[in-house]
Amino acid sequence: MTETTGDRMNTKTTTKADEEKLEATADSMGDEMAAMRKDLSELGDIVTRMGKARVASLRSTAQKKASDGIATGEAALADLTAEIESLEGRIAAETRDRPFRALGIAGLIGFMLAMILRR
């Protein structure tokens, strides 16, 4: 029976030592978890800043391309307007020079439209 009592004392002693080790391990793990939380928070901040920078870059690129597209459209519109004005002037001059020819062409166009629209 003495051995059983001694075994129980060893078990209690071992349990106290184990508890102390577990507490030390838990404290260490708590410190590591706090460090990991801090690292994750910093990583989140970095990703946020990178995302904002990328958005700003894409916005700038989109605005530049939109401006270029508008400028190209305005230039094409100006060219088309100039060409229409030139064509209008040539048609007016041709009509003044040959009025019967212009009248015949207008009549032919009217007749063709009437035939097409009649169907």
Residues 6+ apart with CB under 8 A from 101: 94
The range of the structural domain enclosing residue 95 comes to 2-118
Residue 18's pLDDT is what?
A: 79
* pLDDT tens-place string over residues 16-53: 777 888 888 888 888 888 889 999 999 999 999 999 99
Instruction: Give me the pLDDT at residue 72, please.
Output: 95
Asked whether the CA dihedral 75, 79, 82, 88 is positive or negative, the reply is negative
Q: How many structural domains are present in the chain? A: 1
b (16+ CB within 10 A) / e for 42-70: eeeeeeeeeeeeeeeeeeeeeeeeeeeee
Whether the model clears a pTM of 0.85, i.e. scores above it, the answer is no
Name 102's Cβ contacts closer than 8 Å, sequence gap at least 6: 94, 95
* 119: three-class secondary structure by DSSP: coil
